[in-house]
Amino acid sequence: MQSGLAKHVIALMLAAPLLTGCLERGQPTMVDTSTDDDAFCRSNNVAVGSNDYVNCRKNRDVQRGNANARADRAQRNLAEQMLNNPTRP
């Protein structure tokens, strides 16, 4: 009985570090995209602070928001589809 318990404890100790990677608390950290947006908008030979530069930065922000909304909507649709159409073996 002692060796069986020891095997379970060892297996648990080996699996615990692998399972901690599945634990996520809260929202994922946001990536700082301001330098990328700045480089993209400056590549069009636009002066920082000009109307074209400000419009470019706003457009990039709107595009990013739309992409995030699409990803969220796709995730919700997938979850609903999985809940409404469960596969039974």
- The pTM (predicted TM-score) of the whole model is 0.56
Residue 89: per-residue pLDDT: 53
Spatial contact of 42 and 52, defined as CB atoms under 8 Å apart = no
What's the pLDDT tens digit per position in 41-69? 999 888 998 999 999 999 999 999 999 99
Residue 3: per-residue pLDDT: 77
Kindly state the average pLDDT of the residues 25-54. 83
Q: In the chain, where are the structural domains located?
A: 31-89
Residue 15 has pLDDT above 70, yes or no: yes
Q: Which long-range contacts (CB under 8 A, 24 or more apart) does 76-80 make?
A: none
